[in-house]
Structure 1
Amino acid sequence: MEIHPYLTTKTLVPENQESPIHFLRSQKIFPLPYFYRRNHFSYPFLLPNLYYLTIYGLVHHPSYFHLEQLKLMPSKSFVIPLECAGNQRDKFIPKVFGEQWKGGAMSQAEWKGVPLKDILSKACLQKDAKEVVFIGADCGRRTDTVGVFYYARSLPIAKALHPDTMIAYECNGQPIPFKHGYPLRLIVPGWYAMASVKWLQQIIVIDQPFTGPFQAVDYIYYPHKNSDANKKPVTTINVNSLIQFPLDFSIHDTGTIVIEGIAWTGNGVITQVEISVDNGETWKEATLASQHDEPYAWTQWSFVWEAYEKGEYIILAKATDSSGRTQPFAAMWNRKGYGYNAVQKVHVKIE
């Protein structure tokens, strides 16, 4: 009987499901049925034939675009991982509230779309423009305030005009699946996935910081439990790695074990992954797969371990990127549980 991996459900309404990331080791691009799902509200009701993307605010030419118009414009495509800012939240000590993601609140796919800067160029930004707000079609109520809110996020002008920030309409060579943002999704390479607004329907250019709840309340690093001091926004993905094999607390026979995993960063590329099989006493470099053709994709790595002595071991993985960032041994605790990136740890027993 053939056995298939499956998504792990965290909540049904809204639907939040974790990818079986440990069981997709050989796949740089994830099949869409295994792509993780993160929602704040129930899925929106859409009429694709009447769906237009509108752009207004501080622009000289307020505009609207139908999906078919966007498909006629010059496009780009990149292999890009999307990682929920709360990925691995369950590892923070002391514990924090929120979806207790383990390691599968991230997936990777090939996204195709129109550079956002080309859309903004057609609308012609005014000189006072400071931020660009993106509003999705999903909406609902929050527990911390009164009223109905659409999911909305903003980008500073510089990030909005980055040549690789795009309005995507395809994922893995097909229209974006409805549950992942059909018909249009903003894709922001290098930033946590809260920035990549699904079901994109409005773009508003403004001259001051956006203060919507998903910008000014959520997706903020609060380093203190009872104070907002030193808070800062969640933006660039931290350098990180994941041991996909062997699994935590697994048992293996003596012999050769190939340790496998992925490493990723939002700033540059992965330049080194170090492995320890003795809980950090000694370190050796893993072999990195080539990634020169995909500037944003995660890096697959492997390490051959000759495990001929029986016993219990702790395997560690530590990644470094081209900007000089290295995974810390302890992640920066914050009360909403974002950006976990401590050195990966897996316990194994050799018999």
Structure 2
Amino acid sequence: MRSPESKPYLVTRRLIPENQESPIPFISAAVTPEQYFYRRNHFPYPAISEQSFKLSVGGEILRPLVFSYQDLLRLPSKEIMVVLECSGNNRRHFAPKVFGEQWEGGAMSQGVWKGVAVRELLKWTGLQATAKEILFEGSDYGSRTDLEGEFVFARSLPLEKALHPDTLIAYALNGNPIPYKQGYPLRLIVPQWYAMASVKWLRSITVIRTPFNGPFQANDYMYYPEKDSDAGKMPVTTIHVDSIIQQPIDWSVLEVGAHQIYGLAWTGTGFITKVEISTDGGNHWEPAAIQKDPGNPYRWITWTYTWAATQKGEYTIMSRAADSLGFAQPAEARWNRKGYGYNAYSTVRVKVE
């Protein structure tokens, strides 16, 4: 266990571009502090200019418009608490191993985002009947190892998701302007979807009539169930139901006695209904106490379980969650060659002395 005076820190996966994990085992607040918010980048950080504070809306609309930052601040706004999780979170646990950033459990964070619903902007521009998807383009760009040329990070959403009242053009996080490394000045926030959809440094919105096939939509962020073919590929969208054991930490040494096992659970569908704990490697399961928050449907929930460790030895502790739509964590995650959507039981090993 950590000592009271210890301080957590981000876990570095790569420096250029910067990819760092949140110290999830030590995050106790519902809102992740800015300095501990995880960072996921495909390219170097973009330069912020005066143009960065303008948002253009074009394509299959009736009235193309450019909104200034101040325009957005004057429009009707809302605040929502949202867990953002990288779709590659826990990639290192896949077997067989897959290439990519070897995230453990910290490619996720939670905050209160404030902004304007995309649908609110489109009230001003209107939509043409030909509209099929909405494309969101960031300011970050660079080269890839698999394709020639330079590419901007861009993603599209189907109309239904883009026009959901809680899909936001955010300009504030936790009551302050969005931090630069989290997408300042504007970031798309798409609740319940993996965070690749929440485009940072947003600079343009384009309503399109055909499916978008940019590399971060058609090449990456697709589930490829076969190692050597594209058969059965499917897009990465909704967050899978999941949980994580925060304490005790993996490979901890504990004393005989009572111990609090606690952690987080979250889902992209409905809400968490139960979390179960096993202290014997999955042979027996007991319910954990969960702290529901019906007023915040997109946040993680906390859970606790009191374990009476009466005998010395080595133990495998597991957690599993289930949600209101019947989805549950599996014993094994569904393997895919890019390593997305890992959500097998959370597991830690401890020794009681």
| TM-score, normalization by structure 1 | 0.98
2:6 — aligned with what? 3
Aligned counterparts of 1:100 and 1:332: Cα–Cα separation in 2: 17
Q: How many residues align?
A: 350
- CA distance 1:100–1:295, shift in 2 (3 Å): same
Give the conservation status (yes or no) of the 8 Å contact 1:139–1:150: yes
Q: Which amino acid aligns with 2:172?
A: E
**Superposed displacement of residue 4, structure 1:** 1.2
Counterpart for residue 29 of structure 1: 31
In 2, the alpha carbon distance for the partners of 1:185 and 1:50 equals 11
Question: Residues of 2 paired with 1:280 and 1:41: CA distance?
Answer: 41
Corresponding residue for 1:330? Answer: 332
Please tell me the residue identity of whatever aligns with 1:123: T
Residue matched to 2:138: 136
Q: CA deviation at 1:290?
A: 2.4
* Residues in 2 aligned to 1:203 and 1:114: alpha-carbon distance in whole angstroms: 13
Report matched runs for 1:102-251 at 5 Å.
102-251=104-253
**Distance between the aligned counterparts of 2:125 and 2:267, measured in 1?**
32
Aligned residue type for 1:14? P
Q: Which amino acid aligns with 1:286?
A: A
Partner of 1:88: 90
Correspondence for 1:19: 22
Kindly provide the amino acid, as one letter, of the partner of residue 257 in structure 1.
H
Alpha-carbon distance between aligned partners in 2 of 1:50 and 1:298, rounded to the nearest angstrom: 32
Structure 2 gap ranges (5+): none
Per-residue CA deviation, residues 291-317 of structure 1 (Å, 9 max, x unaligned), is 112111001000011111111111110
After superposition, give the CA deviation of every residue in 1:210-259 in whole Å (9 maximum; x if it has no partner).
Answer: 00000000000000000100000000000000000001111000111000
For the Cα contact (< 8 Å) 1:112–1:168, is it kept in 2?
A: yes
Q: Distance in 2 between matches of 1:194 and 1:58?
A: 24
User: By how many angstroms is 1:50 displaced?
Assistant: 5.9
Query: Could you list the runs of 5+ residues in structure 1 that have no partner in the other structure?
Result: none
- The percentage of counterpart residues that share the same residue type is 56
Mapping of 1:277-316 within 5 angstroms? 277-316=279-318
CA distance in 2, matches of 1:49, 1:123: 20
Q: Does the aligned pair in 2 maintain the 1:48–1:183 contact within 8 Å?
A: no
What's the Cα RMSD here? 1.0
Structure 2 SS opposite 1:200: coil
Give the Å deviation of 1:281: 1.3
